[in-house]
Amino acid sequence: MYLKRYILSIIYLIILTIFHAFIDYLDFTEYFTSESSMEVDFTEKIYDYIVVGAGSAGAIVARRLAEDKNVDVLVLEAGIHATKLLEIPSLGVVLQGTQYDWQYKTVPQETSCFALNDNVSHWPRGRVVGGTSMLNNLIYIRGHASDYNEWFQDKEGYDYTKDILPYFEKLEISSGNTAGSIFVDDLPYITELPGVLLKAVKELGSKGANNIRTVKQGFGIPKVNVIDGKRWTSASHFIYSKPSNVLLRTDAMVDSIQFHDNFEAYGVEFLYSGNKYSAKASRGIIISAGVINTPKILMMSGVGPKKHLKELGIVPRIDLPVGENLQDHITTGFDLVLLNKTLDIGIGTMLSPSSPLNYFREGRGPWTTIGCELVGFIEASRKIPYENSSNRPDLQLMIMPLGIVEDTGFHLRKLMGISDYSWNRYFAALYNESTVTFLPVLLHPKSRGYIRLRDKNIDSNPVINPRYLSRKEDVDLLVKGVRYIQRLIATKTMHKFGARFNSIIFPGCESHEFDTDSYWECYVRHMTITSYHPVGTCKMGHEKDSSTVLNYNFEVKGTNKLFVVDGSVLPTLPSSNPYASIMMLAEMASDIIKAKYVFSYSTCDFMEVFIKKNVC
């Protein structure tokens, strides 16, 4: 088995190298073939709105604002257009580490990530039209009602049914003729594993379902954003039906926001083709650059922690906790489950000539896989855990039909940064095994981190410190997640399926007796892996809350005409993948921003004519 896997891995690596060379070529030709090459005189034109970032949130905001045909919207995206090849769902993971990825990394972690090179976690973030939705697993789950009740608890008159649900429903209209819809569909391809696992969880007394759209305790097959087997995101719809009153300029990296009187945003400065340009807007600047780049842009513009900005020689404008409150869904447990059989999804299946034929002819087959085939939600902190209830879960189980040894360490483990020491002494011993992935995901971590500027150079990557597992409660819950996986694998159903639990001692944990809580704590602190869900660095909340950056209207506090709409605004993590929640908030923000001018008969609010040097 090892020889066959090794040969297939080499073929896979060759094809991957050719693919990366091809997209490098596409990057080279982007300037000459897209709107990026259009010459526009930004010094003369004043747009109504400028949207910075064309990711999941930015694409929605730009499209919704442009529904008013009397306004002009400029969208500035630091990345490039995605080729149609990137609509293949299974290619998301191979885009990591390419020019479509910002390739961010955290600082060395003190209490976690010990199995990773230098204790550093890799944070892929999309640098492409579509943002990180071009790299993710496309899982669409609304979250739990209590998530939103917590976020908006201080908002007067808030009601989940009237304030949240309508925006999810607006997102989920599955009609190609309905402007602005995304497509929420069933998984286009699954192996036999989910069906077996749904029987196993019933043995444990948990509920099973055919699909999951809203978080509830139990297990089910997730909904995803696909159409005819193709990746379909909010940015996909934006590109295919882009209004004529929107100008999208790619390869344009915004470095700062321009202000009148240190509080009113009227424009941005950005870099394009080695030159600096500026663009102006009369109604608003919307920053949708993501959880890392949004706080970076704000701090580069003088909006952020006063002491930090002064230390870097940046003149502070407004003292706000920008970059604080960083949190992420973290997980552990790769290749903890072994099978005595192979599933129809490995490298051999992917490289089979029938796979591309099935995809390009009929939009089906293994190339449409998103990786995760089953999700489960449990409340592990209960005294009698894992019972079904309406309470908010604290752990999510993500089930994938492959392990990271599938390519014998050529690519997947490098994306996560697993060290040679850990790989050679643990994972390499599994080359002759079939492995599957059961990941317990910590939904509501107590640990908090931060993002800071490294210096005032726009080309420098920011300092990212999530402070993973700095709170012991987070470790304890992940250990309970491992314990649940053990219970699941011990069921009669899984035993009959040929599953067994991996009992190899993880390197670095030899001093602990295997299968004790202290051993699993050691394991979790070594194999600490991001779920790629960072949020919170521009926290939204009540105007008087000193921990918030934005008010409930998505406005940066202490400013005028400056908004933030992306994953950075989330006060806490939702009880699921945050993808759907971010898009829902983008729909909400779009209505709020448009309503600001619903009674305006010019490009200015009435009171703004009295502000000196106003752009109006």
**Binding site membership for FAD: which residues?**
128, 132, 254, 567
The SS3 call for residue 257 is: strand
What is the b/e burial string over 519-555, where b = at least 16 CB atoms within 10 angstroms of the residue's CB?
bbbbbbbbbbbbbbbbbbbbbbbeeeeeebbbbbebb
Amino acid (one-letter) located at 181: S
What is the b/e burial string over 328-357, where b = at least 16 CB atoms within 10 angstroms of the residue's CB?
bbbbbbbbbbbbeeebebbbbbbeeeebee
Instruction: Give the up-direction half-sphere exposure of residue 240: CA atoms within 13 A in the CB hemisphere.
Output: 16
DSSP codes joined into one string, 100-140: TB--EEPPPPSSS-TTBGGG--EE--B-BTTGGGGTS--EE
What is the b/e burial string over 363-374, where b = at least 16 CB atoms within 10 angstroms of the residue's CB?
bebbbbbbbbbb
For residue 498, what are its two tokens? 């040929």
Asked whether the beta carbons of 9 and 410 are under 8 A apart, the reply is yes
Asked whether the beta carbons of 79 and 250 are under 8 A apart, the reply is yes
DSSP codes joined into one string, 350-405: HHSTHHHHHHHHHS-SGGG--S--EEEEE-TTSSSTT---SSPPSEEEEEES--TT
Residues 6+ apart with CB under 8 A from 541: 151, 154, 547, 548, 550, 551, 552, 571
State how beta strands 434-442 and 395-400 pair: antiparallel
CA-based max dimension of the chain: 77
The SS3 call for residue 25 is: helix
Residue reference for tokens 């099978």: 339
Alpha-carbon distances, residue 504 vs 415, 425, 441, 525 (angstroms): 23, 9, 22, 16
List binding-site positions. Answer: 128, 132, 254, 567
How many residues would you count in the chain? 616
Q: Phi and psi dihedrals of 266, rounded to 5?
A: -130, -5
What radius of gyration, in Å, describes the C-alpha atoms of the chain?
24
Distance of CA 267 to the CA centre of its chain: 28
